[in-house]
Amino acid sequence: MPNTVPFPAKVRDWIAHNLSRGVAPSAIVNALIANGSVSEVAVAMVDAVSAALRYCMEPPGETLDLGASPMTYTVDPLRVPEVTRIRAGDRETRILMRLNRPAAVLLDEFLDDEECEALIALAQPRLVRSTIVDPITGRDVVAGHRSSDGMFFRRGETALIERIEARIALLTGRPADHGEGLQMLHYETGAEVTPHFDYLMPGNEFNRASVARNGQRVGTMLMYLNDVEAGGETVFPQCGLSILPRRGQAFYFEYGNQRGQSDPWSLHASQPVRAGEKWLAAKWIRTQRFAARGEVPEPAMTM
C-alpha cells in the first residue's frame, strides 16, 4: 500500500462534521469501510481529522501520509515572569504555584475583599442562566453541562472592571483589548460544570467566524470571589490538578502556542458545590483584539 493516499475534501469534511456532533470515531471508521475504504486508510483518515480538531489545526489537504507521526502539542513558556512576587499595575500578587502543562500559575491576593464584594454586587441583579454556543448549530443554548447563572460586563464598563482588566493585561503580557468581557458566574449548592475546553473548536461556522474576527482563545484567568464551604474545585483531569476556590486568589492558564495549536490538556471542569455557593469571575484572552458581536473590529496584528 502506498504511503500517500488520496483524501477527498468531501470525505474529510464528512468526517469532521460527524466528529464535531459527537459520533464515535469507531462508528465513522466502520462507515468508511462499509463504503469501500481499506481499514488502515479509514483509521488514518479519522485519526488525522480527530487530531486536527483536538488541537484546532487545519485538517489534511487532498492527500494523507499514512506514515506521518502523530500530532503532538508543544508547550510554550508561560508569559508570566518566573518570580515569586509580581506587580501588576496597582497591585502586587504572590505566585503560589506553577504548572508546566497546561502552562499555569496560581496567584494569591490578586483581588482584595472589597473588589470581590463589589463585583458580586454589580453582577447579582443581572444574572441569567448560563449559555454556550452549540458546537453544531453555533446558536446560544442553555448548557446541559453548565448549571450556573452568569452575566457579562462590557470591557471597561466601570472603573473597577477597567482596573482589573489592566491588572490582567500586565500579568499576561497581552493588551487589555485582547480580552473578552469579564464573565461573572454564580453556582448554588449542587451546581457544576462538566469537563470542557475554553478554546473554540472549529466545528461550526460561528466559531470559525469568531476566530477569524477576533483570534483564537489562548488563555483564561479564573478569579475566585468567595470561600466555598465544600466543593466547587476547578479540576484538570489530564494532570490531576484540583484548585480550591479561595477569595481573592486567581488561576491563570494558557493553552495556545506559536504553532497555532490548542492544548487538549487544558480540559477542565468545576466540581459540584456541596455546601454554600461559589462566585467566580472569568476572563478569556484572544490572540488579537476582541470585538463583541455587532462591533466592527479595528485592524489588529496577531501576537
What is the per-residue pLDDT across 222-273, written as a single tens digit (0 to 9) for each? Answer: 999 999 999 999 999 999 999 999 999 999 999 999 999 999 999 999 999 9
Q: How far apart are the first and last CA of the chain?
A: 43
For helices 9-20 and 39-54, give the axis angle rounded to 10 degrees. Answer: 60
CATH architecture of 85-286: Sandwich (2.60)
Whether the pTM exceeds 0.75: the reply is yes
pLDDT band at 133 (very low <50, low <70, confident <90, very high): low
Kindly provide the b/e burial profile for residues 74-89, where b requires at least 16 CB atoms within 10 angstroms of the residue's own CB. Answer: eeeebbbeeeeebebe
Q: Which amino acid is at 202?
A: P
pLDDT one-digit tens code per residue, 158-176: 999 999 999 999 999 999 9
Average pLDDT over residues 121-138: 73
pLDDT band at 98 (very low <50, low <70, confident <90, very high): very high
Domain range list for the chain = 4-65, 85-286
Residue 109: which residues within 8 A CB-CB, separation 6 or more?
A: 91, 92, 93, 94, 248, 249
C-alpha 170/C-alpha 215 separation (Å) is: 20
| The pLDDT of residue 208 | 83
Average pLDDT over residues 55-77: 86
- Out of 88-92, 110-114, 133-137, 210-214, the most confident range is 110-114
pLDDT one-digit tens code per residue, 180-227: 999 999 999 999 998 999 999 876 788 888 999 999 999 999 999 999
